[in-house]
Structure formats: C-alpha cells, structure tokens
Amino acid sequence: MSQPVKINARTITKDEYFYGHKACGGCGESLALRLALKVIGEDAYLSLPAGCMAAVSFIYPNMAFKQNAIITPFASTAAVATGVAAGLKALNKNKLSVGFAGDGGTADIGIQALSGAIDRGEKFIYICTDNEAYMNTGIQKSGLTPFGASTTTTPAGKVIRGNVKPKKNMFEIVAAHGIAYAATASVGYLEDFMMKVQKAKEANGPAYIHVFSPCPTGWGHESDKTIEIAKEVVDNGLWYLAEFENGKFKLNKTPKLDSDVRLYLNAQSRFKHLTDDDIREIEALREEKWERLIKEWS
C-alpha cells in the first residue's frame, strides 16, 4: 500500500477555502482556519459559533468559506456539528463535519455540548482556536486566559495583577473522555498542526485539536510577530505540542525549560505590568506542569 503524502509547505494544496474575510492583520485564528481547511478539503460542512471567526467571515452578502458553513448558537458548536454528521450519514453523503470555536466557545460556554458530542462517539472534527480571551466582544477573560494576563475583565492594577487563575487544561479534559484522537498545536509550528488535522481527518471517531492562536489586537503585539510568538511559547514550555492517540499521551517537542520567559511575555502588552515576582510565579507554574508531563507521558 502506498504511503499517504506527507503534508508540508511543498505538498499542501494551493487552493484556498477561506479568503476575503475581515480578520485583523496577523490574526492567528484566521491562519489556523485557512491551513486546517486546506487539509480538510472541500468535502466538508463547517459549524462555528459567534466569535471572531464568525464575525469576520459571514458578512452579508459575502461568506469567506468555500465549504458550506453555518453559525451555531454559542453553546452548541459540537452539538450542531454532530447533528450535521448524523444528517450526512442519513443522506449517505461521504462528507466531514467540522466545528471551529474559540477558547470561550469551547472551554466555557460550549463545554457541555462538546462533552456530550465526544461521548456519543460520532465521527466529527472539533478545532478550538485558542487566543486566550473572548476577543470578539472586547477581550474579556475566558477559562483559557493564562495567569497574569490583563484583560478587560481582569485589568492589571496595583493590587490584582491581571488574571489570577491558571489556564484550564482543556486538552486533558477532552482526552479524559477516551476520545479517538486529540492534539495540541500552535500556529508557530504549522506543519505539525497540518499533520494533526490530517490525523483528525483519518480518526475513527471524534477528534479534537487545540491550536494556540495569537491575537495581535487582544494581546498587544505587532501583527508581524504572530508566528514568532506562537513558536516561542512552545520553545519555552508555556504551551506544548502533544497528542492523545490509542488511549496514550505523547509529547511531540521538548522545550528549553531554563529559557527566559520574558522574551515571550515582553513582546505583549497584556503582560507589561508583571513584576519579577509574577514572572517567577509563571516560571514555577511551568516547572510544576513539566515535572508532571515528563513523569506521566515520557
């Protein structure tokens, strides 16, 4: 049997499935959608809740997707996507159902629909584009906002130094359902991301990908720094590349845990208030996380 073609910058299709949208320059989420859809191809139905990606791509009379796409109620992306999958099956159509939602739409408001959908075991792909806040409504904190980040609902002041809670562990929450395939990714490592979308497409059941997607507008960084920031966060271990497959976790990249997190934090105005003590706390959280990951997954 011939090996499937490895997806990379050379082999990826030149066809575009997501274009003409109104996302800000340097938007990590729109890049994730564009490349995911190149791997997914035209034979797919897309479901998206309210959020930046819906707001920038459904502007009547235009739609930025080449595939069929619908906006779902905010809490229901995964329920709609599995409903679409069931409909496609009933109509005997060999097409994929794919849900895309932001961190707020996934880890907070849409989490019960996602849990139920994974539990039903239907074949669909869910991609969470994580920009670490509710961007479309004005940069409010979500369950995936990291410790220390200033948002409009966790503003940094003299007493409270931005968001006081660590990021919710969505990847392991999803894996705990015994899902067919789950992975974390970053738009800083696009070939890794596209390879994971390909695996999700081939999975024999529900598949989830959580892609780290910088937002220049909400994070306060230059729009040409998106890729650099999304690479650095993986290299320094504040984010990670991992997979859950056949019931097992696997780390895809070992970070430099002695690297200075300031290189990442200082590039973004949402962290500009952090003191040396705050940065030590961020490094301590990183250490604690990796001690566990290396012990349990290596």
Ligand X SMILES: Cc1ncc(C[n+]2csc(CCOP(=O)(O)OP(=O)(O)O)c2C)c(N)n1
At its nearest, how many Å lie between ligand SF4 and the CB of residue 185? 16
- Which residue number places its CB atom closest to ligand X? 102
Token pair of 124 as six digits:
């669909």
What letter does residue 183 receive in the DSSP assignment?
E
How many CB atoms sit inside 10 A of residue 37's CB?
26
Tell me whether residue 8 or residue 152 sits nearer to ligand SF4 (CB atom). 152
Q: Out of 49, 99, 102, 148, name the contact with Mg ion by CB under 5 A.
A: 102
Give yes or no for a contact between 107 and 168, defined as CB atoms under 8 angstroms apart. yes
At its nearest, how many Å lie between ligand X and the CB of residue 281? 24
Q: ∠ at Cα 158 (155, 164), nearest 5°?
A: 50
Q: Which stretch binds ligand SF4 (CB under 6 A): 42-50, 65-73, 104-112, 210-218?
A: 210-218
Tell me whether residue 27 or residue 238 sits nearer to ligand SF4 (CB atom). 27
Q: Is 292 buried (19+), middle (13-18) or exposed (0-12) by CB count in 10 A? A: exposed
Q: Which stretch binds ligand SF4 (CB under 6 A): 4-12, 21-29, 176-184, 202-210?
A: 21-29
Q: Is 133 in the site for ligand SF4 (CB under 6 A)?
A: no
Residues 6+ apart with CB under 8 A from 196: 183, 185, 209, 243
User: How does strand 242-245 pair with strand 248-251?
Assistant: antiparallel
Q: Is 215 in the site for ligand SF4 (CB under 6 A)?
A: yes
- Which residues within the stretch 23-42 sit at the binding site for ligand SF4 (CB under 6 A)? 23-24, 27, 29
Tell me whether residue 97 or residue 129 sits nearer to ligand SF4 (CB atom). 129
Q: Is 56 in the site for ligand SF4 (CB under 6 A)?
A: yes
- CA 167, CA 238: separation in Å to the nearest integer? 11
- The DSSP-derived string for 165-178 is SPPP-HHHHHHTTT
Residues 6+ apart with CB under 8 A from 47: 69, 70, 72, 77, 80, 81, 84, 97, 98, 99, 100
Q: Which stretch binds Mg ion (CB under 5 A): 131-139, 242-250, 253-261, 266-274?
A: 131-139
What letter does residue 239 receive in the DSSP assignment?
S
Q: Is 131 in the site for Mg ion (CB under 5 A)?
A: yes
Q: Which does 24 bind (CB under 5 to 8 A by kind): Mg ion, ligand SF4, ligand X, none?
A: ligand SF4
Tell me whether residue 51 or residue 162 sits nearer to ligand X (CB atom). 51
Q: Out of 31, 44, 52, 274, name the contact with ligand SF4 by CB under 6 A.
A: 52
Q: Is 218 in the site for Mg ion (CB under 5 A)?
A: no
- CA 274, CA 227: separation in Å to the nearest integer? 23
By CB under 6 A, the count of residues binding ligand SF4 is 12
Return residues touching ligand X (CB under 6 A). 29, 50-53, 74-75, 101-105, 109, 131, 134-137, 142
Determine the residue type at 258: D
Sole residue written with tokens 């609902």: 153
At its nearest, how many Å lie between ligand SF4 and the CB of residue 27? 3
Binding site for Mg ion (CB under 5 A): 102-103, 131, 135
Binding site for ligand SF4 (CB under 6 A): 23-24, 27, 29, 52, 56, 131, 135, 215-218
